[in-house]
Structure 1
Amino acid sequence: MGKFSWSSLVPGCYGGHRHQRGHGKLPIAKQISFQRMSFSDLSNSTGGMLTPEDISLSLVGSNLYIFKLAELHAATQGFAQSNFLGKGGFGPVYKGFVDEKIKPGVAARTVAVKQLDLEGKQGHKEWLTEVIFLGQLKHPNLVKLIGYCCEDEQRLLVYEFMTRGSLEKLLFKRYCGSLPWSTRLQIAIGAAKGLAFLHDLEKPVIYRDFKASNILLDSDYKAMLSDFGLAKDGPEGDETHVSTRVMGTQGYAAPEYILTGHLTVKSDVYGYGVVLLELLTGQRSVDKNRPMRKQNLVEWARPILNDPRRLNQLMDPCLDGQYSIQGAQKVAAMAYQCLSQNPKSRPHMSTVVETLEPLLNLKDMPIAPFVYIAPAETTSNEEESTKNEVKQRHKDRSPKAGKEVGNTKFGSPTTHNNQNLKRN
């Protein structure tokens, strides 16, 4: 048995490229019956001693590309500020483009490159966690990891680029944006499917940091879970929980996890309930700028969630009433269950999916009224004056001015201009 080391676990780290083959992909091992290698498998080896064969199983069949730092430097135009997408706990994220010229064998595509902040709170362990989990787990509602870079102290991850960014950025705009009810429901279902997949694995995975900023959206608003740096293997056998240091984000962490450090899949379900509540209300889970009693969204809203008569007190004003009443009531009821103080009372994520999916077919969406505004009565002199004014406007109008639009639109639905509604 050889001694376990980080450099042997992930080829390409610490200048070691012995395991590369072809165009920089990991070696494709023969797969007869593939079983996911978990962190518990690694730690359960006697005295932390692992054979090279044990280690290689952790990434077998992943087809991840090993990038050089220079290649990612070229892909992001030198990590240019113009390509900066945002920054999370791991570090900054940049938009980039890779093709055959940058990395032989890689199909041309836009990517997101996440770079470890060497001064930040996360480090090699979180980076490795993402490589291990996303290198093996494939699902339509999990973001796709394309490859990684491990050079000296540098740790980078290369993902498929998600056109619409995070749910957080779309939902919590300063001014009301275009995130209609059906889209919110679609996002909630997609995220639930991602969690259900993780929880229903033979070796369950606890996501541990479920929040709006970790839900990324493609051009069709399909939700994908990202950022697996805090993910943990779930309890196995007779174990009821995983004991771990409390980590996560304020406002999303389950109360029993905060108190005891006991982590279960039901901890994820609580976080999901918080995001479901955010989708209903359009408000962040914690906001110190709100009145004292509303600063913690769950504490304020949970008593209302189970009372259909008070639902309108919760609903995001940016929806402008354009949502299914029946659907909103069922979503609120589901959020109420997910946010239960008793973990055992929270539903399984597969049950959440089964409950929410049929809501997409509900037909009780209100329709904005069609209002015809009759022209005001005018005297003959006023009519003549109006005609002369219209003639003069036509005469003075230049081609550059484009089509003139009056102040009143006739025959159009009466709706609010959502772009000018400031969120409370």
Structure 2
Amino acid sequence: MNLGSLNDFPSVTVDSGFPIIDFEQLEFPEKSLLGQGSFGSVRKAFHRNWRQDVAVKSLTFEIYGTSEQELLYSEARKLNLGSRSDYVIRLLGICLEPQVAIVMPYMENGCLSELLQDVDVPWALRWRMARQIALGMTFLHCQNPQIIHCDLKAENVLLDGDFHVKISDFGLSKWKMQSRIVTETSPMGGTPTHVPPEFFDTDGGPTDKTDVYSFSVLLWEIASRRKPYRDAEGRLNLSRPLSCYVTGGGRPDMSLVPRGVPGVDTVSQLMQACWSQCPDDRPSFQECVDQLRDVNSMFSDEDILEAIINVRRKMKAVVK
């Protein structure tokens, strides 16, 4: 199929450089669903010609309108650019019919959220993941126009076979140029537990410091292995609405971050700087990378390898 097949949708533009993937080459197992979003789903598939598993994020023309298609193509364009980083999920191509879809590599170790829930990940590996996330976000923020992710959280960090991170899910992300959001089709959104206080009390759009705040909560997730603001039963553990709590200066409970762990003091200071009430007081991702480099230097390559073996063993025990 050529790009002319989109003539019925004149407001949708597709980058002519995108590889076009034949949807008929994709085999979906009976239990293929990997995740469900607000305007699409991600499923595991096997590409017959490539002989490899892939992840397919799809929409259908019958169900969704043109604006949602624009969102998907916008996500594909950002992936096409962002995946030049080792720490951003790669775009393999797009399908145009019978379903609109973007095709990405399948990440066999799932998402960081599930791993943290199931396994007590050794600190050497946790801090490597934290730094790789910061490196991926640095790359996105250094693009022109800048790419603002808008929904950075553990669920949107995928893990490859060696537990290297791949930042994913650019459905809410925005292009930012000259302090103006230029992708009008991108919805306002984000996960309430990970958005900064200014999100709740201003009409301004997201900035790079929005992602930095989300990263601070993600660091807290990595350190605590918990969901922010929730009790053991998964309920919001607040005496007032989350928006009021955050705008009033409330943050995730630092008492849940373990003490006496190598690097934890530096990371704790960093996360608190990143969730500063004033956006201008938050560091850049370049500064985050530099501080996390110092934390990572506390561990050797052998420590990382041992951590990976340890996690693989624990994951097998969880599956059993």
Scaled by the length of structure 2, the TM-score of the pair is 0.77
- Unaligned segments of structure 2, at least 5 residues: 300-313, 316-320
2:121 maps to amino acid: L
2:131 equivalent in structure 1: 189
Number of residues of Structure 1 aligned to a counterpart in Structure 2: 288
Matched, 1:14 2:14: no
List per-residue Cα deviations over 1:352-378 (Å, max 9, x = no partner): 001101212226xxxxxxxxxxxxxxx
Q: Do the aligned residues in 2 keep the contact of 1:301 with 1:314 (CA within 8 Å)?
A: no
2:264 equivalent in structure 1: 328
User: How far apart are residue 322 of structure 1 and its match?
Assistant: 8.0
1:337-376 equivalent positions in 2, closer than 5 A = 337-362=273-298
Q: 2:44 aligns with which of 72, 95, 110?
A: 95
Q: Do the aligned residues in 2 keep the contact of 1:59 with 1:136 (CA within 8 Å)?
A: no
2:198 equivalent in structure 1: 256
In 1, Cα distance between the equivalents of 2:270 and 2:25?
Answer: 46
1:284 maps to amino acid: K
In 2, Cα distance between the equivalents of 1:124 and 1:262?
Answer: 22
2:221 maps to amino acid: E
1:213 equivalent in structure 2: 155
List per-residue Cα deviations over 1:84-103 (Å, max 9, x = no partner): 32323343322222243xxx
CA RMSD, Structure 1 to Structure 2 (Å): 3.5
Secondary structure at the aligned position of 2:92 is classed as strand
1:188–1:289 distance in 2 versus 1, CA, 3 Å: same
Matched, 1:266 2:209: yes
In 2, Cα distance between the equivalents of 1:340 and 1:290?
Answer: 22
In 1, Cα distance between the equivalents of 2:142 and 2:213?
Answer: 17
Secondary structure at the aligned position of 1:202 is classed as coil
Matched, 1:165 2:110: yes
User: How far apart are residue 82 of structure 1 and its match?
Assistant: 2.5
1:116 equivalent in structure 2: 59
1:108–1:234 distance in 2 versus 1, CA, 3 Å: same
User: How far apart are residue 131 of structure 1 and its match?
Assistant: 1.6
List per-residue Cα deviations over 1:165-216 (Å, max 9, x = no partner): 111111234xxx2412112111111111111001112321111111111100
Matched, 1:82 2:41: no
1:227 equivalent in structure 2: 169
Q: Do the aligned residues in 1 keep the contact of 2:3 with 2:16 (CA within 8 Å)?
A: no
User: How far apart are residue 258 of structure 1 and its match?
Assistant: 3.1
1:170–1:294 distance in 2 versus 1, CA, 3 Å: farther
2:96 equivalent in structure 1: 150
Q: Do the aligned residues in 2 keep the contact of 1:205 with 1:233 (CA within 8 Å)?
A: yes
User: How far apart are residue 246 of structure 1 and its match?
Assistant: 2.8
Larger Rg: 1
1:256–1:127 distance in 2 versus 1, CA, 3 Å: same
List per-residue Cα deviations over 1:254-281 (Å, max 9, x = no partner): 2213322322111111111110111111
In 1, Cα distance between the equivalents of 2:52 and 2:25?
Answer: 14
1:295–1:333 distance in 2 versus 1, CA, 3 Å: farther
Q: Do the aligned residues in 1 keep the contact of 2:220 with 2:252 (CA within 8 Å)?
A: no
2:217 maps to amino acid: V
User: How far apart are residue 128 of structure 1 and its match?
Assistant: 1.0
1:248–1:301 distance in 2 versus 1, CA, 3 Å: closer
Matched, 1:67 2:59: no
In 2, Cα distance between the equivalents of 1:246 and 1:13?
Answer: 30
Q: Do the aligned residues in 2 keep the contact of 1:289 with 1:295 (CA within 8 Å)?
A: no
Q: Do the aligned residues in 1 keep the contact of 2:219 with 2:271 (CA within 8 Å)?
A: yes
Q: Do the aligned residues in 2 keep the contact of 1:242 with 1:264 (CA within 8 Å)?
A: no
In 1, Cα distance between the equivalents of 2:105 and 2:77?
Answer: 17
2:160 maps to amino acid: D
1:395 equivalent in structure 2: none
Secondary structure at the aligned position of 1:224 is classed as strand
User: How far apart are residue 289 of structure 1 and its match?
Assistant: 2.2
Greater RCO structure (CA 8 Å; 6+ sep): 2
User: How far apart are residue 338 of structure 1 and its match?
Assistant: 0.6
In 2, Cα distance between the equivalents of 1:13 and 1:255?
Answer: 44
- Unaligned segments of structure 1, at least 5 residues: 1-6, 17-47, 101-106, 306-312, 364-417, 420-424
1:386 equivalent in structure 2: none
List per-residue Cα deviations over 1:76-121 (Å, max 9, x = no partner): 2xxx332332323343322222243xxxxxx432211122276589
Secondary structure at the aligned position of 1:216 is classed as strand
2:274 maps to amino acid: C
1:347–1:243 distance in 2 versus 1, CA, 3 Å: farther
1:275 maps to amino acid: L
Q: 1:292 aligns with which of 238, 242, 246?
A: 238
Segment of structure 1 superposing worse, 352-361 or 120-129: 120-129
2:42 maps to amino acid: V
In 2, Cα distance between the equivalents of 1:248 and 1:304?
Answer: 21
User: How far apart are residue 123 of structure 1 and its match?
Assistant: 2.1
Aligned residues with identical type, % of pairs: 28
